[in-house]
Amino acid sequence: MRDHFQERFPEFDRLASVFQNAGIESRAIAMPLDWYLQPLGLKERNSAYLEVANRLFIESAQNALNEAKISAADVDIVITISSSGIATPTLEARAFVELGLRPDILRVPVFGLGCAGGVSGLVLGAHLAQANPGSVVLIVAVELCSLWFHQDTLTKANIIASALFADGAAAVVLTKARANDCNIVGFGVQHTWPSTLGIMGWDVNDEGLEVVFDRDIPPFVRRQIAPVMAEFLNRLGLTPDAIKRFAFHPGGTKVLEALEAALKIKTGSLDIERSVLKNHGNMSAPTVLFVLKQLLKNATTGTYLMSALGPGFTAVAIPVTVRN
């Protein structure tokens, strides 16, 4: 990365510290490294998205179904969360024959939620599962952020994004048909701040999608998140003491520090989030589902509040209860 940017971007040495300070030691990317250094347009990038996202969709969905001991033929509703490529027909339509899904499944593709997609998928899944008692809901989040790295876009946002974002997929199975050790409580909540469209998202240009990533996200979180979380708890009928732990989407080390400071959480206590960030990077929507999986390995009985921030600018949260 240094060799690629240094000669053409005088400020790179000053920004290079973001790679050391990102808290990331390893992350997956969809394509071989040389692929990213070619001239690439929307067609080439999106073709890679369709190929790799389809494979990851099938792998993650099958893993979740196997772990839940549920057959793909028993799935009634499929929610696809992805904001990092264009697929029409959407990913679940491309995968349903190979997965063994029924032709009469309800397909619910969701685009544009970005980093808030994982928790938002759980919120939507909870609504659909409770509206259709006995149904099985499969939620699959797939994001290939790296495909939209632009080697000739010499902006701070592009360089910071190249240090932070990664690729990945995760899936969850929801059903009211049987008791589980982890249960969603209620329907979840959302808050969108007015006049914040420019904080996070995509711009579209001739090369494809270009990241919008405001450097002031951590200060914004420090100022704004505490009253929103208090509002969330009130709307959910919960007190702060009722929450054993927050489970956040790890958007970056500075965002995690801002969350701890704003919510008066002991510094460093969001250790699972930091571990996922360290080992996988910020994969956008799937990342918080990695946090949930890690949390469930050692969680004690109680209520946990999952939450994420994403384009809009939006906060979303949903409580889950664990019985161990």
What is the domain count for the chain?
A: 2
Residue 10 predicted with pLDDT over 80:
no
Residue 178 predicted with pLDDT over 70:
no
Q: Of 115, 276, 285, 289, which is the active-site residue?
A: 115
Q: Which of 175, 197, 218 is the last residue in one of the domains?
A: 175
The pLDDT tens digits of the residues spanning 129-170 come to 888 888 999 999 999 999 998 877 767 777 777 888 999 999
Q: Which of 154, 175, 196 is the last residue in one of the domains?
A: 175
Find the range with the poorest average confidence among 84-88, 225-229, 264-268. Answer: 264-268
Do 33 and 171 share a domain, yes or no?
yes
CATH number for the domain spanning 224: value is 3.40.47.10
Global confidence as pTM: 0.91
User: Is there a catalytic annotation at residue 182?
Assistant: no
Q: Where in the sequence is the domain holding 79, given as residue range(s)?
A: 2-175
The pLDDT tens digits of the residues spanning 234-287 come to 999 999 989 999 999 999 999 999 999 999 998 888 999 999 999 999 999 999
C-alpha span between 274 and 257 (Å, rounded): 10
